[in-house]
Structures are given as structure tokens and as C-alpha cells.
Structure 1
Amino acid sequence: MPTTTDRRYHRVSEDKRIQIIELRGKGYLQKDVAAATKTNFQKVRNVLNKWNQHHTIRDLPKPGRPSKLDCRTKRQLAKMAQSDEVSSSTDLVQTAASHDIAQISARTARNMLQQEGLKAMHMVERPLLTRAHKRRRLEFARAHRDWTVDDWKQVIFSDETVITARPLHTHKLKWVRPMRGLNPRLIVPTVRGGGPAIMTWGCISTFGFHDFVLLDGMMDAAGYVKVLEDNLLPVMQEYFQHRPCLFQPDNAAVHTAHEVTSIFRAHNIQVLDWPAHSPDLNIIERV
């Protein structure tokens, strides 16, 4: 994720303003003053104009209504906006009022958060990975980093997808500081199951997408064996009868049951050792 450009005004320090006035008093041209102080030419001109008109280098009072929020309160609200307690500018307004911090509108809150360098971004769902999951994924990547395209063409990728009726967290926004890459604060960890669901199974190989099956309820070992007999074995017989083949199951518990390993042995099915919680490594996830 690319970083956003910081468009906030960069203030010229008072020491540098004094240096600009002194150099100009010694007869330096404005462009030479800008080069000597490493300051933007327009900012040098602004400092000199202020000195000529008001005989001061200090910031002049800003016209219009003063801000309702001082710097300390802005920092406090920005920190609150990034907490789990707040998910929107409206939430921030209500939370700030309940804590007697400030009485502001949602529009004022949004403007203030943007001035503090925050941006409202959509949440992203990602698998909940433990340290062991991450280690296994790294081991798998290292073990297969030298595989060629022809090696991967021998693999039949499969997947069981549980389509749940859970609310989508990706529609939610969170105020965060833009950064390179995915901000960890935007990640919503996902786990399997939860709520009403439809179970499906499918597989894909170098020859294309094969069967996509709707399953009756959650699948046990016996049900998985039937899926393999009715769908995987015909694919292997039609496309891989005279060529090497590897089958990639995921790490569901039923896949290591005795009935399942027995059918693997009976039909000489070579299984690709697959790290758990790795949908991003499986090409079928993009179909």
C-alpha cells in the first residue's frame, strides 16, 4: 500500500527566520538566501515580507474563529480514534463527549483527524495465524522455492469453503496512519465456522477447473471419502493416469482420519504436505 503525501505546512523555525533576515541585511539576493539556508524561495519571501510589514519574525494571529481544540486535545482525540473503542468519527464525537474531553461535530472530528495525519481505511480479513502457523508456512516456502512450473503442474489443488452468514467486517472503517504495506491495525482475524453455513468442495489443476460440489451439512471423514471417490478419482484417472500427480488437501481434521488415509494408500495418491491457514498459497482461492 503506497504511503500518502504529507501536505501539511512545514513551519520555518525562528532560528532560520533570524538567519534569513541577517543574510538579507548583508545584501544577499533572496535566491541566494534560499540556497544558503536550504529554504524554499517562497518561504524566504514570506519571512522577509512579514519582517518588512510587521517588523517581527513570529507567527501572526490567524484570522477567523479560533480552533475549538488545542494541540493536546487533538493528540488525545487522535489516539482515541485509533483505539478499539472508536470505529468512526461519530463514535469519536460521542466518546469525547462522554469523557468530557470536547464537544465537537463529526465533521470537525474528521477534519481534525486528517490534520493529525490519519486516514479512514477499510478493515481487511486475514486468517488468524499463530507463531506455529507462520513457522510452518516459512518452512513450506523454503522447501518448495526451487520448484519449477512443471513441478507445480503435477499438483491438483483442492479447497473446502464454508460460506457463512456472518456480517462482513470489511465494510467497517478504522482511522489509522497511512504506511507502506498493510497496517496490522486494519486486520480482522478470521477463524473457521461461526453461524449458519454452506459447505462446498472443488479442485483445480493445470488442465483447468474441475468439479464444484455443494455438500449436505458439515463434512465428516466418511463424507470426505465419498467426495474423493466421486470427484477426485475421476479427475486423476482422466488427466493424470500416465503422469505423476500430487494432491493438495488442506489441514482439516477429517483429512487425517483413518478412512481418508486408507483411500490415499489404496489408490496410491501422493499427498502434498500443506501448511495450515494458507489460502493465499492455493491458486483455487483466486477462482
Structure 2
Amino acid sequence: MQPISENLRNRIISCLKNGYSISKTANIAGASRGAAQNVRKTIKNEVNSIKTGRPKLLSNRDDQYLVRLVTVKGQENAVEARNMLENDLQKVVSAQTVRRSLRRSGLTSFVKPQKPLLSEVNRRKRLDWALNHVDWTIEHWKRVIWSDETKVNRFGSDGKVYSWKQPNEKLKRRHVTQTVKHGGGSLMVWSCISWYGVGYIVDVGKNMDKSVYLSVLQDDLVKSMADYCEENDLRMADFEFMQDNDPKHKSKIVSERLSKQDFTTMECPPQFPDLNPIENMWNILKKRLFKQYDCPPASMDELWTRTFETWHEITEKECQNYIETMPQRCIDIIENKGIWINF
């Protein structure tokens, strides 16, 4: 290759040291790509690794500051962090640049899960409950019957549903969540689980009051427990019943009825979902209702039939897998000082 002039060489070196790529350097300096590449090779020892491409807008110190903003100082999102960066360090960048910086530092973004409002009093009660039960063995947890109600929608989830598609792909049925006016209908169901599988499931109607709940306990809970006893050579007195702190569950007529049963009623901590394995079983139920069928149920009767059949397809082992996590849940609650945990 023909030698280049000193002026051209200096222009190339200046561009390279400012972080320009080989192509950009060649354009700015008025040289060929080959000339720019040759100059880069000759100055490699002078400049330890000349960086090509656009230089970073944020230094390592800036990256560390952003991590501190979101993990210690409580900035909610990239926009808030960007504003603080501009105010504190006079660095003006986009929110997208902030997101890239946080990802470089190993952080990931996620949709905030919804959790029940947790007061300081309830946090302490949850912690106390975990401390009182952290020494329980699996043999203890095998004797607990967990109960709850949940809503089952005819047209799937109330929350976000994710899908994937090619950048230029047109929307198809699988890409959207189809809706109807007024929501399309839903069921409110009650059931229970234990180490020995799922119990009876019952449609409790839109507005379950204490009288309806009392009827559920007298019929469906008792029948579920009777089946557990018969199939596993147990007595009702072997079990402890767990319900959440809903006012109708704590009403006088319900409390009086439970006090007369052969089984005992277990004290429940406040804001209980992450400590109740039946919540995991509800998730299994709803995912299967959504995935197992090609189309939504044509009627509320069909929704109930699907719900009933899918619930009773859940196996003992699936229930046991989540009940076995109770010792770890107690440990996690203690380590988290009563705050919500990831179950």
C-alpha cells in the first residue's frame, strides 16, 4: 500500500483516539479503510486498546450511582433515575440509556407483583406466626387443611398476558386476549387442600355471606375431611383447619360452629396469600383452564364443568410439592422480617 502523508496519519490517529470506528475514521480523515486499519495497527502499543464505535455516555462511576439510586434510594423507574442523575451529576441522558446502564450492572426490570397492603402491626403478626411455626416438621404440616376462595373468569386472566411475535408479523388470534362487554362472567369458588390432595370445590355465588360460608363448612369441608380420613386411616381430630381472616370467616355463627367440631381451627396470620399453598393450586387451576382448551367456555355452566373437572385432576403430589415448602416459607418470612415473600 502506498505510504500516506504525515498530516493524513495524524488525522487518522486523532479520529481513532476519539473513539470513532474504522469506517467513520476513514470518512472523516479522507482516507481509505485500509489506511485507517494500518495506522490503527501501528499505534496499538501507544494507545492500549483504542475503542471503536460511539463512546459510552456514562462512566463506571455513573453506573454505580444509578444502581444505588434504584436499590437504596428508592427511585421507581428509569425516568426517575435519569432525572436524579441530571440533578445530582449534571449528566443528561435518555431513560433508555439508564436502562442499558442498569442492565450492564446486572439488574433486571419486572412487572411489580400485586401484594396486599401490609401495615406495621400486620408485619409483626406475620413475623410472630412464622417464628411460632418455623420448627414444625412436614409431619405437622401434613395435618393442616388449607382453604380459600377464588374467582375464575370465563375469559381468562384479569392481569397481563404475554405473547411473542415476529417484528413485522400481523396480529393473530394467539396474540390477543379477546374480551366481551361486561367481562363475560366469572365464578367464585371455594375449596380446600391437604397433604392428601384437593377437597370438594363449590360454586359459592357472587356474594358469599356468613350463612353461605357456614353451609360450605358444614357440607363441603366436612365431606372433604371425611374422604381424607377414610382414604388415609385418619380421624378428624388429627386435622387442623386453616382459613384466612375474612370477616365472614370470623363471624360469631361460624366461630361457634367451628368450636364444636372434632378438628381444631388454626390461627391464621394477616395478609395470608404467600403463606397459603392453596394459592399455588389456584394458579395451577387457572393456567390449565387457559391452556387446555382451544376456545373459552360457551356458557357459565360449561365454565363450571371445566373448573370442577380440572380441579379434581390436580394430584396429591402437586399439593405435597407446595405444602413441603412451608418450612422454607417460615424461614423466608423471618429473614424478611415479616414482609411478603416469593411464593
TM tier relative to shorter chain: 0.5 to 0.7
Structure 1 position 126 matched with structure 2 position 107:
no
Residue aligning to 1:283 = 277
Query: Contact 1:158–1:201 at 8 Å: present in 2 too?
Result: yes
Q: Which amino acid aligns with 1:150?
A: E
Structure 1 position 242 matched with structure 2 position 231:
no
Residue aligning to 2:148 = 159
Please list, as runs of the form range in 1=range in 2, the aligned pairs for 1:55-204 lying within 5 A after superposition: 62-67=51-56, 69=57, 71=59, 78=66, 82=70, 83-84=75-76, 86=78, 102=92, 106=96, 110-115=99-104, 118-162=107-151, 168=159, 198-204=187-193
TM-score, reference length from structure 1: 0.53
Distance 1:256 1:63, change over 3 A: closer
Distance 1:197 1:72, change over 3 A: farther
Q: Post-superposition shift, 1:251? A: 1.0
Which of 198, 202, 209 lines up with 1:213 in the alignment? 202
Flag structure 2 segments of 5+ consecutive residues without an equivalent: 1-41, 163-184, 282-343
Distance 1:143 1:80, change over 3 A: closer
* Deviates further, 269-278 or 115-124: 115-124
Query: Contact 1:155–1:246 at 8 Å: present in 2 too?
Result: yes
Residue aligning to 2:251 = 257
Q: Which amino acid aligns with 1:242?
A: R
Residue aligning to 2:222 = 233
CA RMSD in angstroms, aligned pairs only: 4.5
Q: Post-superposition shift, 1:168? A: 3.0
Query: Contact 2:63–2:101 at 8 Å: present in 1 too?
Result: no
Q: Which amino acid aligns with 1:260?
A: V
SS at match of 2:115: strand
**Whole-angstrom CA distance in 1 between matches of 2:82 and 2:158:** 23
TM-score, reference length from structure 2: 0.46
**Whole-angstrom CA distance in 1 between matches of 2:235 and 2:52:** 83
Distance 1:115 1:59, change over 3 A: farther
More strand by share: 1
**Whole-angstrom CA distance in 1 between matches of 2:133 and 2:99:** 47
Flag structure 1 segments of 5+ consecutive residues without an equivalent: 1-49, 172-195
Query: Contact 1:163–1:197 at 8 Å: present in 2 too?
Result: yes
Q: Post-superposition shift, 1:270? A: 1.7
Structure 1 position 271 matched with structure 2 position 262:
no
Query: Contact 2:143–2:240 at 8 Å: present in 1 too?
Result: yes
Query: Contact 2:82–2:94 at 8 Å: present in 1 too?
Result: no
SS at match of 1:200: strand
Q: Post-superposition shift, 1:201? A: 0.9
Identity score, percent: 29
